[in-house]
Amino acid sequence: MHTRRKFIREMSLSALGLYTVNNWPATASPFSVVNNEGPVLKVALMGLGGYATRVAEAMQQCKRAKITGLVSGTPEKLKSWGEKYAVPEKNRYNYENADAIKNNPDIDAVYVITPNALHHDLVIRMAGAGKHVICEKPMGLNAREGKEMVAACKKAGKKLLVGYRMHFEPATLEVIRMRNAGEFGTLRFFQGLCGFRIGDPTQWRLNKALAGGGALMDIGIYALNGARYMVGEEPVWVTAQETKTDPVKFKEGVDETITFQLGFPGGIMASCLSTYNMNNLDRFFLDGDNGFAELQPAAGYGPVKGRTHKGPLQVQATLPQQTIQMDAMAAILLDGTDPVVPVDGEEAVRDLVIIDAIYQAAKTGEKIKLG
């Protein structure tokens, strides 16, 4: 029996090379592949944890995406999820035989929703199995991993998307539209605050080997990515400071609180906070000569709310963010559409390059140049 917990504990990524393969004829898929909105993206969820539960529930409202496969190291989950979402046994896999997805016409893409340290190898494996890949963020543990993932997907001729759900969020996109229309005038400043008090000290998010860090990798990436899409430029330098009040809970290499500053070529400054030790932090603020925009909450599961110098934002999502995300990703993969804000692997690599620089700046106290 191969449980997901055992798989994670053993960290046997380097050993994931040869697997038993279940073969069956590559016949036409029995799943519905078209509806009134267009072709349907057939998705296998890999890693059936808490966030995958949220994604699966949201996908029940999708018009362009359907759960047709499952991958888990826990047989009980494969059974219960398979029954709940009508996924037949032949479309259920564990981490040892997941490469058999290659022969399955019922699956177009695999959504990797595992602890961060597993993303790199699993994305490369699934692309090698001939499937498009959607990966949760952060895409990898560092920029080197991210670049390898992008290169592997390109070599396989498969697309790599990343779960940047906020890139499709209506209120966020309205602020970006206003910025592009010049309604804020010359931009001067951005502030991004993201944090919460984390609970269970034994969870994988507080294990450097699995998470790759601490709050910055989990919640701070929203402030970082938000600074980029709200400002609309790529930063050219970064400074950072780390504070740790509980070295027992937040062990070496697991950041509790990091403040970081970004400088943009247009002269805009961004000041951001990432923490696992403070609640009530979910706010973006963009300031310009002629106006401002504030989103609060800005990166939570919703609903995102906001206001500008013109008053409250009237745009608000009527569907879960993950529903909107998966339908939009189906359009990207099946129709070749371009999102307003990119969600591809290259976009994720840009975040990882900056995350590497933030950790370096926090450690050295130096101002790190980017690009």
The long-range contacts involving 328-331, CB below 8 angstroms and separated by at least 24 positions, are 328/168, 329/41, 329/65, 329/134, 329/161, 330/39, 330/40, 330/41, 330/62, 330/64, 330/65, 331/38, 331/64
pLDDT at position 16 is 35
In 3-state terms the chain splits into helix, strand, coil percentages (rounded to 5) of 40, 20, 40
Q: Which of 222, 229, 276, 359 is catalytic?
A: 222
The SS3 call for residue 371 is coil
Q: Collapse the DSSP code of 310 into the 3-class scheme (helix H, G, I; strand E, B; otherwise coil) and give the result.
A: coil
Residues 6+ apart with CB under 8 A from 178: 184, 291, 293, 308
Q: Is the dihedral of CA 321, 324, 327, 329 positive or negative?
A: negative
Contact between 106 and 69 under an 8 Å Cβ cutoff? The reply is: yes
Nearest to 318 by CA among 329, 310, 309, 327: 327
- Return the biggest CA–CA distance within the chain: 63
Taken as a whole, the chain contains a residue count of: 371
Determine the Cα–Cα distance for residues 78 and 80; give it in Å rounded to an integer. Answer: 6
Give SS3 for 77: helix
* Neighbour count for residue 360 (Cβ, 10 Å): 13
Based on the residue annotation, tell me whether 137 is a catalytic residue of this protein: yes
Q: Are 336 and 328 in contact (CB under 8 A)?
A: no
Using DSSP's 3-state secondary structure scheme, residue 249 falls into coil
Give the CA-trace dihedral at 326, 87, 210, 283, to 10 degrees.
Answer: 30
Q: Is 222 marked active-site? A: yes
Cβ-contact 320, 58 below 8 angstroms: yes
Query: Which of 42, 66, 137, 158 is the catalytic position?
Result: 137
pLDDT (0 to 100) of residue 18:
30
Domains and CATH numbers, the chain: 4-162 (3.40.50.720), 166-319+346-369 (3.30.360.10)
Residue closest to 126 by CA, chosen among 160, 173, 165, 92: 160
Apex CA 69: angle with CA 140 and CA 144, to 5°? 10
Tokens of 136: 């949760």
Say what the pLDDT of residue 37 is.
77
User: In the prediction, which pLDDT does 310 show?
Assistant: 98
Structure-block tokens of residue 347: 């976009």
d(CA 176, CA 233): 12
Distance CA(260)–CA(333), nearest Å, equals: 35
Strand partners, 306: 295
State the pTM of this model: 0.92
Q: What is the pLDDT of residue 26?
A: 39
Q: pLDDT tens digits for the chain (371 residues)? A: 444 444 444 443 333 333 333 333 334 455 656 677 789 999 999 999 999 999 999 999 999 999 999 999 999 999 999 999 999 999 999 999 999 999 999 999 999 999 999 999 999 999 999 999 999 999 999 999 999 999 999 999 999 999 999 999 999 999 999 999 999 999 999 999 999 999 999 999 999 999 999 999 999 999 999 999 999 999 999 999 999 999 999 999 999 999 999 999 999 999 999 999 999 999 999 999 999 999 999 999 989 999 999 999 999 899 999 999 999 999 999 999 999 999 999 999 999 999 999 999 999 999 999 98
